[in-house]
């Protein structure tokens, strides 16, 4: 009997030890900000970090659009910086509590207007290496069309509006344009509605179906206005955008849109989900009166979009090296549209020191730590990196892994996006040294390829080269 008890005790101890070794220390970060403000307004941006068991150094950074100034509210023991339109919270050793909430105040200039995005990343030390997580993008519409000083501005999940945007590449007579379709599902909403879409500068628009809305253009802002919200539970409107005469349409144009609705006493907002550039459009299904739509996110739309994205990601997700347990994944080295908003860390290499902008997070920006890990540097402006690997299933790898397995001697940085761990090396201010480096890297990793960034945000390489060419004229 005693032998059985000892045996069971040993088994339970082994299970407990294994469980402790395999605890998932996932880090999650959420950023919140108002979606509608007036020029000149002040408001708070709040970032919550569920850090789990992280103990070492970390950096939280967000790129602030021009026209805003920032000041600290709560830093949770971090050093706060605001320079070159970048907010940073820098921890030498992150606090022990599992949940951190930092905040800062933004003030908009009196002349600011249009759609603005706040993007960022959380970089932290892990297993003698660095890892990072992209923050959700905050979309802020700055407008004086609606005065919100004397009204109640309700959060985006306060109403029943659910929206999906579908973008269909043009064919036939509209071959050089994009058809934009907005599907709306709502339940018992009353009052006005106003849709604003920011399209690329110089583009023109043709209204296809306004659904009784008044339409006008204000610079590059497309505006549809309804004095009364359509009474149908499911309704749509659409338009086609065209590039300037004599030019080709931008591949996957960057569109920023928001629906504002309600009354003078209470204003609500809704940002549509995105059905990626599609070859077809399916009409929405009317809301069931018993359905739970209090979250402001359509379950119907989310499930449909998730299914389509899963189909797209497997063949198109950027990757090169298939790491150990990824043997069942078929992955290509193609850069896809969903990578455009990826915020990356960047490491400087010797041959590029004279070419890279000085607007970086450097070692001197981070207090001295006993940890051997140094936060990767993130730079402003346009630059190039070389992506060498991506994985969904494998554990996080460090620079030592890539050095021993693939003879990559430079620091390797990892960023998570849509469930993928993506690994990049090198930072180059010009394409020429990036080309040389990718050719050198391909001797060890044949599918290595170049990716481009502007202010830490991934952009198409062609766009980066064109912008650099224009700036040098």
The answer to whether residues 37 and 260 touch, using CB atoms and an 8 Å cutoff, is no
- Residues 6+ away with beta carbon under 8 Å from 387: 318, 320, 333, 422, 423, 424, 448, 449, 450, 451
Please, how many CA atoms are within 13 Å of residue 305, restricted to the half-sphere of its CB?
Answer: 17
Mean predicted confidence (pLDDT) in 229-245? 90
Q: How far apart are CA 17 and CA 256, in angstroms?
A: 49
pLDDT value at residue 103: 96
Helix H or strand E segment including 180: strand 178-185
Residue 374 exposed, middle or buried by CB count within 10 Å (0-12, 13-18, 19+): middle
Q: How far apart are CA 412 and CA 422, in angstroms?
A: 10
The answer to whether residues 392 and 400 touch, using CB atoms and an 8 Å cutoff, is no
Going by C-alpha positions, the residue among 193, 306, 309 that lies closest to residue 258 is 193
More confident position, 471 or 289: 471
- Please determine, for residue 364, whether its predicted confidence score (pLDDT) is greater than 80: no
pLDDT value at residue 48: 95
Q: How far apart are CA 115 and CA 245, in angstroms?
A: 25
Give the CATH fold of the 315-471 domain.
Alpha-Beta Plaits (3.30.70)
Indicate the class that CATH gives domain 28-142: mainly beta
Mean predicted confidence (pLDDT) in 362-367? 36
Q: Where are the beta strands (DSSP E) in 210-322?
A: 214-218, 221-226, 234-242, 256-262, 266-270, 273-275
Assess whether the region 28-142 and the region 158-296 belong to the same CATH fold. Answer: yes
| Backbone phi, psi, residue 438, to 5° | -70, -35
Q: How far apart are CA 67 and CA 45, in angstroms?
A: 15
Going by pLDDT thresholds of 50, 70 and 90, the confidence category of residue 342 is very low
pLDDT value at residue 333: 35
Q: Does residue 350 sit in helix, strand or coil? A: helix
Q: Is the pTM of this model over 0.75?
A: no
Mean predicted confidence (pLDDT) in 417-443? 85
Q: How far apart are CA 254 and CA 353, in angstroms?
A: 32
Least confident residue range of 240-244, 252-256, 385-389: 252-256
Residue 93 exposed, middle or buried by CB count within 10 Å (0-12, 13-18, 19+): middle
Domain positions in the chain are 28-142, 158-296, 315-471
Q: How far apart are CA 215 and CA 223, in angstroms?
A: 6
The fraction of the chain above a pLDDT of 70, given in percent, is: 68
Tens digits of residue pLDDT in 136-164: 899 999 998 887 776 777 766 678 899 99
- Please determine, for residue 2, whether its predicted confidence score (pLDDT) is greater than 70: no
Mean of the per-residue pLDDT values for the chain? 74
Give the CATH fold of the 158-296 domain.
Immunoglobulin-like (2.60.40)
């Amino acid at each position: 009997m005693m032998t059985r008890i000892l045996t069971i005790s040993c088994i339970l101890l082994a299970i407990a030890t294994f469980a402790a070794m395999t605890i998932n220390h996932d880090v999650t970060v959420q950023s919140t900000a108002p979606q509608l403000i007036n020029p000149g307004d002040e408001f708070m941006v709040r970032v919550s970090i569920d850090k789990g068991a992280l103990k070492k150094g970390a950096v939280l950074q967000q790129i602030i659009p021009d026209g805003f100034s920032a000041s600290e509210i709560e830093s949770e023991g971090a050093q706060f910086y605001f320079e070159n339109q970048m907010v940073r919270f820098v921890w030498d050793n992150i606090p022990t509590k599992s949940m951190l909430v930092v905040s800062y105040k933004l003030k908009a200039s009196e002349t600011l207007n249009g759609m603005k995005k706040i993007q960022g990343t959380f970089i932290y030390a892990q297993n003698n290496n660095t890892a990072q997580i992209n923050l959700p993008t905050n979309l802020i519409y700055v407008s004086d069309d609606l005065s919100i000083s004397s009204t109640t501005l309700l959060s985006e999940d306060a109403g029943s509006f659910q929206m999906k945007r579908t973008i269909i590449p043009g064919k036939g007579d509209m071959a050089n344009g994009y058809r934009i379709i907005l599907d709306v599902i709502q339940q018992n909403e009353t009052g006005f509605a106003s849709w604003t879409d920011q399209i690329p500068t110089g583009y023109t628009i043709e209204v296809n179906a306004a659904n009784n809305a008044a339409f006008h253009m204000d610079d590059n802002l497309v505006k549809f206005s309804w004095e009364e919200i359509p009474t149908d539970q499911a309704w749509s409107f659409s338009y086609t955008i065209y590039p300037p005469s004599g030019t080709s349409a931008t591949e996957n144009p960057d569109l920023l849109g928001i629906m504002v609705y309600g009354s003078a006493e209470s204003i609500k907002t809704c940002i549509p989900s995105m059905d990626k550039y599609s070859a077809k459009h399916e009409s929405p299904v009317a809301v069931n009166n018993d359905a739970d739509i209090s979250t402001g996110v359509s379950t119907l739309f989310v499930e449909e979009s998730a299914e389509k994205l899963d189909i797209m990601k497997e063949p198109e997700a950027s990757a090169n090296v298939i790491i150990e347990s990824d043997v069942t994944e078929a992955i290509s080295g193609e850069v896809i549209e969903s990578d455009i908003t990826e915020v990356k860390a960047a490491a400087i290499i010797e041959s590029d020191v004279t070419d890279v902008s000085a607007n970086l997070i450097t070692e001197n920006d981070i207090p001295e730590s006993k940890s051997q890990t140094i936060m990767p540097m993130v730079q402003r402006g346009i630059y190039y990196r070389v992506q060498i690997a991506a994985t969904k299933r494998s554990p996080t790898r460090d620079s030592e892994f890539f050095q021993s397995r693939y003879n990559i001697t430079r620091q390797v940085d990892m960023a998570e996006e849509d469930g993928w761990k993506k690994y990049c090396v090198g930072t180059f201010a010009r394409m020429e040294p990036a080309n040389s480096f990718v050719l050198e890297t391909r001797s060890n990793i044949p599918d290595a390829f170049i990716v481009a960034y502007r202010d830490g945000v991934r952009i198409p390489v062609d766009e980066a080269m064109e912008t650099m060419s224009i700036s040098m004229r």
